[in-house]
Amino acid sequence: MTAAPTTLAVPVPARRAPRQVRWLLRLHRPTVLVWTAFVLLTGAALLWLGGPLTDASAAAWKAYNACDYSPRCAYDQDAILRYKDVYTYTNVAVLVAPFLVAAWAGGALTGREMESGTARLAWTQGVSPARWLASRLTVPALLVAASTGLLALLHRTAWTAADGRVDTAKPWYDYATFYANGTLPVALALAGLAVGALAGLLLRRSLAALAVSVVALGGLWAAVHTALPHLWPSVTRTSDLGTGPAGTGIPTAEGVVTAGGDRVAAPCGSDTTYGCRAELADLDAVGYWRDFHPAAHHWPLHLVASGALLLLAAVLVLVSFRLLRHRTGPTARPAGGERTRTP
């Protein structure tokens, strides 16, 4: 007569959210310190750019414009060049931030922990795989959203301070300036976090996941750049042949208007040259047309593109949870925080 199998209750220590957060921050302390330094230095540079540097550059340009081409004109050329250099560096820093997030998420947040076995160790200590992944995504997402949002806000403030005052200030439709001047850095950073987390779970190799995450985010950004002009209805402006295509902003398409009212592609930019006049005459062109996005479309474009990126990030997070569940299997837990097993 065989004894009936007995069910043993193995107590699992309760893992509270604050304890998981402290462990996560301790595990990634070097990255947190480096990221904090990066945000603080970039933020300080943006404050400097939007304050003293903008004032000095605006004063220098005012003096230069008052010279009226005088050979003995005195103006602070260093202030103009300094503003231009700092603007370029800070602009690059804001745009690079999402790639840093993606590289860390793929290389360290999930990739290294899967490769080293730290994740499996956590799962044996009473933390379910789903809860482990949730903590790995929630805390960084909050920190990343807050820090990149702050940098984008400071960049927007610095750019606004120079708009119309500094002659070499970038226009709003300059693509690098446009991307850094709104919500897209935040959405790209969160998408990079989701891409990196999924790459780490898939590849389970830190260096491979790091490289794939950066390349994937670059491809995602290229897709956004390609689709951007078509995410919001554009406006159309027509002009005569002598003026050339009119309308300042992000262009989507342009061409010439024929006498019959048809819109066709423009063979040349203006009718000031003999060759261009002949080509326009052959087309029976009477004017130019241009479809573009004016300054009023800045925020609609940002919000629609950011919404699409956040939706994609949510899908990638869902895929990450499904992948983790598929590889680890469901973990049965009865009420009271105990796992049952049969010896």
pLDDT in tens, 93-126: 999 999 999 999 988 888 888 877 777 777 777 7
Say which range, 5-9, 45-49, 214-218, has the weakest mean pLDDT.
5-9
Looking at residue 183, its pLDDT comes to 96
Report domain extents, the chain.
14-231+297-341, 235-296
Of 82, 249, 91, the C-alpha closest to 166 is 82
Q: Which residues contact 229 (CB under 8 A, 6 or more apart)?
A: 250, 251, 252, 293
Token reading at 234: 């554009």
pTM: 0.84
Looking at residue 95, its pLDDT comes to 96
DSSP track, 221-264: HHHHHHHGGGSS--EEEEEETTT-S---SEEEEEEEEETTS-EE
The H or E element containing residue 289 is strand 285-293
Residue type, 43: G
Distance CA 190, CA 310 (A): 7
Residue type, 162: A
Q: Mean pLDDT, to the nearest integer, of 231-254?
A: 87
With tokens 């921050």, the residue in question is: 25
Contact 261, 230 (CB under 8 A): no
